[in-house]
Amino acid sequence: MAVNFADYKNIWVYAEQRNGKLMNVALELIGEGHKLSREISADTKVCAVLVGNEIDHLAAECFEYGADAVYMIQDPVLAQYTTDGYTKALFDAIEEYKPEIVMYGATHIGRDLAPRVAARCNTGLTADCTHLDIDMDGYIQFAEENTTLDTSKVKKDDPKAQGLKMTRPAFGGNLMATIICPNTRPQMSTVRPGVMSKREREVGATGEIINVKVNVTDADIRTKVVEVVKSAKELVSLTDAEIICSGGRGLGGPEGFELIKEFADKVGGVVGSSRACVDNGWIDHSHQVGQTGTTVKPKIYFACGISGAIQHLAGMQTSDIIVAINKDPDAPIFEVADYGIVGDLYKVVPQIIAEWDNAEALADAAK
């Protein structure tokens, strides 16, 4: 494959919008893309790519969160997400403008679109990344702090590894791998929502807008979206939650989530769950934290009756503070917990609820 790498420049973020509203992960990726672009060179830009119809108003938000430029791909035929329409629109734009890197949020739509675009570009795609690096020193530092990798074996000048280093969990979070895409361009990855950080909003920031010509017609689109239904169920935003109260198999049954809900309501948190409870049908999958569920990093994660299977730990172990309550003193969850309580959650959690409002007085008294 004779690809002239010099032709490819800048980092693109597929800035996913639904119903004219940006997804949070789009802003997170602009933040991450900003960081990576400066690692490549001073004149490398992070660009938001907006696909849809009548979405001009979203450009400002992209600039305010760090985008240097915004590519606008607008047409009535793109008003609604379709695999065929968006793949063609994005592929055409990539062919024309040749970005060096394209990142997508690993949402249900991002994971539908990205593989299709990557295959059409005949390039590589790395799914569900949780860490990205360009700079080799930064990669080594990340690896030393977070992994068991023997960094003395990392060759800094390895010509294959000078591009994007995409790190992701595999085997249910048991293993991690750093993937590279050394011979083709663009380099592409989907990134888990909730993992990267937004930049501080800079109100009034602006930049260049590039209007991309659209060559998609109705004939290109082979699926018909009959309707889009928002579920009546309560929207669970685990990724934005500052406190998560999670229940596991130790709850003993679906009714255990009543206590967890009461706990979450008291502390201003959101209800999470282990996979076991979802598989048992005790709670909806939208609450599931873990490798196959949602990755979270709240300020406090309360794990109640969760043993701590690797696949669960993979989705929550970067939480700031982890509190584990479990009857079994040997439960693996205690290996990652900042504070562990061995005990019956049905006795401990009600006491935390009862004492919650007294925390300040208790802390004062303990001085």
Partner 1 sequence: MAFKVLVCAKQVPDTNEIKINPETGTLIRDGVPSILNPDDANALEEALKLKDKYEDVTVHVVTMGPPQAETMIFECLAMGADEGIIVSDRAVGGSDTWATSNAISAAIKKFGDYDMIFAGRQAIDGDTAQVGPQIAEKLNLPQVTYVEEFDISEDRKEVTVKRQLEDGYELIKVATPCMLTCIKELNQPRYMNMKGIFNKNKDIKIWNAADIEVDLATVGLKASPTNVYKSFTPKPKGKGMMLAGDTEKELAQDLLIRLKKKHVI
Which residues in 328-367 contact partner 1 (CB under 8 A)?
329, 334-344, 347-348, 350-352, 354-356, 358-360, 362-363, 366
As measured in angstroms, the least distance from the Cβ of 244 to partner 1 is 13
* Closer CB to partner 1, 101 or 114, in the complex: 114
Among 49, 102, 132, 314, binds partner 1 (CB under 8 A): 314
Q: Which listed range, 9-17, 95-103, 245-253, 322-330, lies at the site for partner 1 (CB under 8 A)?
A: 322-330
**Residue 131 φ then ψ, to 5°:** -155, 140
Q: How far apart are CA 201 and CA 264, in angstroms?
A: 29
End-to-end CA distance of the chain: 68
Among 39, 162, 172, 266, binds partner 1 (CB under 8 A): 172
Q: Which listed range, 26-34, 47-55, 204-212, 318-326, lies at the site for partner 1 (CB under 8 A)?
A: 318-326
Query: At which residue do the structure tokens 């400066």 appear?
Result: 38
Among 8, 24, 39, 120, binds partner 1 (CB under 8 A): 120
* Closer CB to partner 1, 160 or 213, in the complex: 160
Q: How far apart are CA 365 and CA 367, in angstroms?
A: 6
| Mask for 185-224, x = binds partner 1 (CB under 8 A) | -------------------------------------xxx
* Closer CB to partner 1, 182 or 209, in the complex: 182
As measured in angstroms, the least distance from the Cβ of 178 to partner 1 is 5
Q: How far apart are CA 173 and CA 356, in angstroms?
A: 34
How far is C-alpha 284 from the chain's CA centre?
A: 20
* Closer CB to partner 1, 17 or 107, in the complex: 107
* Closer CB to partner 1, 21 or 201, in the complex: 21
* Closer CB to partner 1, 68 or 133, in the complex: 133
- The three-class DSSP label of residue 170 is strand
DSSP 15-44: --EETTEE-HHHHHHHHHHHHHHHHH-TT-
Asked if 189 and 126 touch (Cβ cutoff 8 Å), the reply is yes
| CA 139 vs CA 36, 160, 184: distances in Å | 12, 14, 21
How many residues of this chain bind partner 1 (CB under 8 A)? 100
Is 147 one of the binding residues for partner 1 (CB under 8 A)? yes
**Residue 97 φ then ψ, to 5°:** -100, -15
Q: How far apart are CA 318 and CA 298, in angstroms?
A: 8
